[in-house]
Amino acid sequence: MAGAAITATGLTKWFGEGDARTLAVAGVSFEANFGEMLFLVGPSGSGKTTLLSMISGVLRPNEGRVVVAGLDVWSLDDNQRADFRLHKVGFVFQDYHLFPRLTTTENVAIPLILRRHAWSEAMAQARGELDVVGLASRAEIAPGKLSGGEQQRVAIARALITRPEILIFDEPTASLDGDTGKRIMSFVVEHVLNEHRCILIVSHDERIFSFADRVMRMEDGHVVATERGAHA
Amino acid sequence: MRGLLRIAYKLLTNERGKFIALLMGIAFAVFLMVMMRAVFSGILRQSAATVTNTGAKMWVMDPAVNNVLTSIPVPDYVLDAVRSTPGVRSAVPLYSGAGLVRLSDGTYQPATLIGLDDTTLLGRPKLVEGHIEDLFADDAVIVVRDGEYPKLNSPGIGTTFELNDRRAVVVGIAETPASGLFGLPTLYTTFNRATSYIPSPRFTISYVLVEPTGPAAVPGIQRAIADLGYLALTEKQFSDRIADFYKYKTGVGTNILIMMVISFVVGLSISAQTFYTFVLEHLERFGALKAIGAHSRDLVFMIVFQVGVSSFAGYGLGVGLCSLLIMIAKARLPSYVSIITFGNLLFALAATIVIAVVSSYLGIRRVLRIEPFEIFRA
Ligand SMILES: Nc1ncnc2c1ncn2[C@@H]1O[C@H](COP(=O)(O)OP(=O)(O)OP(=O)(O)O)[C@@H](O)[C@H]1O
Ligand SMILES: [Mg+2]
């Protein structure tokens, strides 16, 4: 099902007012399709995280609009937007944001718990998801006891458990060594990416650009170039 | 919903140190508040000990009386007037005053002296040793075995001492439901003998004890006595009057109230502060939940639940601690009196709920202000 997963038009965000005002994202427009893995690259402070946040419904743009999976994200009310995030979007945060006091399984089950699934059903499904990312044997362990790569996979399992149409990774490999980063990315390409899903990845890591379908380069809040990735 | 609360519970209790601090804050506040009032209830009960122990249905007294010990003598004609009041089945005099005991070793000990009507002995205590008829023998007194009993060197039957420079001999040992507030041992004797022990004032009757024909007769008696210029109170009214005296006319009540307010404020600040710190430390987690798609009301439920669990566990702990302490104190100190009343528990519960509401309000306000965007930029 190739088609527009994300349509952004003139997305603009600034912080502060007057002299202190910084323009973080300056009128960015682009389209991303289902079945596509899109990389967002650029120097620090170029606006990548800000852009990602506006697309995923966590940061309101000052101008412009974005339609994701058929929903005009910023015309929804707060509850609808929370549901949009819960049902359509999966997040893998840069430092994972796992709950250290919950077990790995409980961490993965959280989106289902928020969707009011029964506890035992959520746990069973979470264990299944952990199996997919190859961590079945670590199900009852606290995430703090896992290696960085393993934590990353737990975060991926948590993002995947709701079968989101849009998957967002912020610096997925920044804190991993080169080999682990590559292994994670191969896993994503083989098992996570499909024609019903669009994956958006923010990264500084040149070593993984080869996995991209397209690479969008940002500088000072503008998209300065869009290149076809090696994977396309 | 249950899953969400389960997550909230795990987040709360897995952080063991924080959770214990939170529990302790609330338990401590509850403990202090309940304890203060229990002590005060104990004081009030002790202050009305003579009324409780005598067990008369109605008491007639001078209108200026507000505490049993400082009775104001009533003229003899009042006794006759009360006896002829409609609705009065019987009326007897009671002497209540202080006596000075000189023990065999030569030391002095003040005591409460109660003189019971010579014919009826109305208001007599329960004897655990001796026979009540012996009270009619020469110089006979009965000693109450309570927390103050050792102050008379724990006399047995046959012990003699001097009471206001006259010989007294112990003919019985009694026990009473309540002991007095002032740390004085209590002696019982007959009305006539009691009045012979004291330097003779004009009037010797402290109170007239009244047995009405029935509850319906009480208001009529009270009106008739009021016309005489005296005050007739039921047992309950008299106890309440004494309690009110200590509550409102002495510094005791005010001080207890101040202590309770302080306990409440301390408990409130410890708990609200601890919980707010808990929320701040979990801000990132709440933010992540929000980013993943938790609704605001989900977060509110979680916080209210967390505060609720800590508050009620803390309340139980505080009340338990208080009961335990009172039990231990009672086992060790015979004259120790503290009473946990239902009103006391209810008041502490209300205070706990206020603490919980304030704590969760602060937490909720902070959590609702989290920008999940901050999570991305971490
Ligand atoms: N809450 C904020 N208040 C003020 N300025 C902000 C805020 N968030 C972001 N900015 C600014 O907006 C610009 C873009 O920030 P953003 O985090 O999107 O960059 P980035 O491309 O993700 O950088 P990095 O690669 O370092 O993560 C920066 O100049 C940043 O300082
Ligand atoms: Mg960034």
Q: What is the pLDDT along chain B (378 residues), one digit of tens a residue?
A: 688 899 999 888 887 888 898 888 889 889 988 988 888 888 888 888 888 888 889 999 998 888 776 778 888 899 999 999 999 999 999 998 888 889 888 888 999 889 999 988 888 888 899 998 888 888 899 999 888 888 888 888 988 888 888 889 999 999 887 777 778 899 999 998 888 877 666 678 889 999 999 899 999 999 999 998 999 999 889 988 888 888 887 787 888 888 888 888 887 888 888 888 888 888 888 888 999 999 999 999 999 999 999 999 999 999 999 999 998 988 887 667 788 888 889 988 998 899 889 888 988 999 998 888 887 776
Alpha carbon B23 to its chain centroid, in Å, reads 27
Going from the C-alpha of B59 to that of each of B74, B76, B113, B223, B225, the distances in angstroms are: 12, 15, 18, 13, 11
This model of the complex carries an ipTM of 0.88
CB-based contact B285 A95, cutoff 8 Å: no
Indicate yes or no: pTM above 0.80: no
Whether the Cβ atoms of residue B99 and residue B113 lie closer than 8 Å to each other = yes
Chain B closest CA to A196's CA: distance in Å? 20
Please give the distance, rounded to the nearest whole angstrom, from the Cα atom of residue A202 to the centre of ligand 2.
8
Whether the Cβ atoms of residue B346 and residue B265 lie closer than 8 Å to each other = no
Q: What angle do CA B274, B278, B281 make, to 5 degrees?
A: 135
User: What is the distance between the alpha carbons of residues B34 and B32, in angstroms, rounded to a whole number?
Assistant: 6
Kindly report the protein residue whose alpha carbon is nearest to atom 30 of ligand 1: A45
Q: From the CB of A43, is ligand 1 less than 6 Å away?
A: no
Interface test with A, best of B1, B2, B4, B7 (most A CBs within 10 A): B7
Secondary structure letter of residue A19 according to DSSP: G
User: What is the distance between the alpha carbons of residues B94 and B192, in angstroms, rounded to a whole number?
Assistant: 10
SS3 B195: helix
Tell me, yes or no, if B371 comes closer than 8 A to chain A by beta carbon. Answer: yes
Q: Are strands A89-92 and A166-170 parallel, antiparallel or unpaired?
A: parallel
CB atoms within 10 A of CB A16: 10
Among A21, A50, A202, name the best residue to mutate to test ligand 1's pocket (greatest count of ligand atoms within 8 A of Cβ). Answer: A50
**Per-residue exposure over B289-309, b if at least 16 CB sit within 10 Å of its own CB, e if not:** bbbbbbbeebbebbbbbbbeb
Q: Is the dihedral of CA A23, A27, A32, A36 positive or negative?
A: negative
Residues 6+ apart with CB under 8 A from A72: A65, A66
Kindly report the protein residue whose alpha carbon is nearest to atom 11 of ligand 1: A24
Q: What are the chain B neighbours of A91 within 8 Å (beta carbons)? A: 291-292
Through-space distance between the first and last CA atoms of chain A, rounded to whole angstroms = 16
Q: Are strands A198-202 and B166-175 parallel, antiparallel or unpaired?
A: unpaired
Query: Could you tell me the residue ranges of all domains in chain B?
Result: 2-46+251-377, 75-229
Tell me, yes or no, if B290 comes closer than 8 A to chain A by beta carbon. Answer: yes
Atom of ligand 1 nearest to the CA of A221: 14
